[in-house]
Structure formats: structure tokens, C-alpha cells
Amino acid sequence: MDFARNALAASLLVLLSFGGSQAQLLWQISGNGIEKPSYLFGTIHLGVDISEFNEPLVSTLEKADVIATEVNTESVTNLGVMQFMFLPDSVSYKDYLTEMEYALVDSVCKLRLGVGLALMQKIKPMWLSISLSIDVKSLKDNDGLNNLSLISLDQQLRDTAFALGKKRDELESAQFQFQLLDSYPLQGQFKMLVESAKADASSPLTASLDTLTIMYRTQNIDQMANAFAQIPDPFWQNEVVNKRNVGMCQKLIELMQNQSVFAAVGAGHLGGQKGLVNLLKEKGFTLTPIKLEINHE
């Protein structure tokens, strides 16, 4: 997979960079003075439905007092957050793209979204790249939306927790995540957009997403680690993954002090030396895997 597809997949799955030696998505956290066990679960943000998991997922959620996802997904539509998606009036796509690159992106917009770049060019290239990553026009034309879970697993978990009467919390704010992605230099964002447009316009990122979804369903954390290790830009590994892992670990530890927490984060944040599983172990907690099966017909 090339840089653009890997980086976009990392954004869409917010944000996978898996590593580790065990094929495991669900963990019990105990020890180190906490009164009740808590739980850590790796999600995927598109393509998998909660109904595909066997009984331990929901029963574990039922044991917890609170669910904490990366962000409060209900706040993502807040206008204060949405401002990060748009370019300032002084910036134009034509300032960064050659005529040929502009024409290429325009053609891909028409192919995948059904509208030209003229109607999309106030959106920052990072977010336009994400929008182009799934061929929405083709899915609609072929009724493919019926075969793709477009409600994130994180949101499904929050909805389930609400139905169970659980409190809901977050490990980060939506504004923090948007600001983080917004900090990626515009030059790099436009480069990503052009490389994505060049990458086989007839075969959008859904192929990469399919691969990641297969890895997720088999809980193959080593393959996922290898896939994302290929991203050459250090911004993704250092800023989007590693530093966020440290922050989410600290917030989770604070939440676990007097209650049982079901923490659901992008699966890529679990594994590796700098992943949440290892970070929690280094803090003195015991991490015990809980066997979990994912069924997909």
C-alpha cells in the first residue's frame, strides 16, 4: 500500500498503528490498587457491526460502570469543531496544485462524490482526502451501502452503553483530535490528496479498508503493525499514535481509580511497545486477555 492509502486509512480508523504478539482485542485491567477491574477494547471505526461479536463483548460492557471512547462522538458535529475542516479564505487549491493535479483531483471528485472540486475546494485537503477514500457515488449506484457498516463501532458501543444505563465519558476531546489533524502542514495534506487521486481512481481506498477489516476480524495485530510501519511520514506514528497513547493512558488511569471502565479505542492504539497494553503494564497494572470471536457472514 502506498503512503496516501496508508495515511488515509490511519485517519479513517482513527488511528491504527498496531503492534504486538497476541491476536487479542479485549483485555481486563486489574491490580495496582484499583478496586474494580476495568476493560480495554480495540475498535475499528468503519466496516464492522457490533452484532458480529460473540457474547463476551456485551457482557463485559455490562460489568462496567462507565464506557469511555476516544471521543464523545455526539460532540463531533459541534460547530466549534467543524471549523477545523475548512480552509481560510486566503488559501486556494490552485496555490498548491498544478493545473494537471487540479484537473486530476477534480475528476476523482466527480467520480467518487458526484460533484466537482469547485464545490469542495474550501474543505481542507485532509478532509477531502478522507471523503474521497470511499467511493460514495458508486456505493449508492450499486446499493453497496447495504454491505458496509457506516455507523462506527465506537458509536454503536456508546449507544449500547446508553441503552444499558451506563455513564459515558471520553479519553480525548473531539476538538483535540481535529486540532491534531489540523496541525499536519498544508503542503503535506495536498501531497496526500494528489497521491490519493493518482492511486487507481477506479479502485478507491475501500480495497485498503477491506484489507484492514480482514486484519481486524482475525485480530491480527502483527500484520496491522507491519502495514502502518510502512507510512514514511513520522507525523502519523509520533503525533497521531504514540503521543496520543500516553495521553489516553493517563486519562484512563484517572477514570479507573473509583469505578470500572470499559475503554474503547482504535485498535491500533493497543499493541506495540508504545501501545496502551504495554503502557498500562509499565504502570503496574495486570492485563489479561479475554477471548473474543468475530463472526462475519
Lowest mean pLDDT among 58-72, 86-100, 137-151, 229-243: 137-151
Contact 200, 98 (CB under 8 A): no
Distance, in Å, from the CA atom of 17 to the CA atom of 10, rounded to the nearest integer, reads 7
User: Could you tell me which residue, 146 or 124, shows the higher pLDDT?
Assistant: 124
Distance, in Å, from the CA atom of 5 to the CA atom of 129, rounded to the nearest integer, reads 10
Element (H, E) at 289: strand 286-289
Residue 178 CB neighbour total at 10 angstroms: 20
Report the pLDDT value the prediction gives residue 296, as an integer from 0 to 100.
64
Question: Mean pLDDT of all residues in the chain?
Answer: 80
Report the pLDDT value the prediction gives residue 231, as an integer from 0 to 100.
67
Query: Of the segments 53-57, 140-144, 241-245, 258-262, which one has the largest average pLDDT value?
Result: 258-262
- Return the residue matching grid coordinates 481509580: 257
| pTM recorded for the entire structure | 0.81
Q: Is the pLDDT of residue 87 over 70?
A: yes
- Per-residue pLDDT tens over the stretch 28-47: 999 999 999 999 999 887 77
Upper half-sphere CA count for residue 107 (Cβ side, 13 Å): 14
Lowest mean pLDDT among 107-111, 131-135, 230-234: 131-135
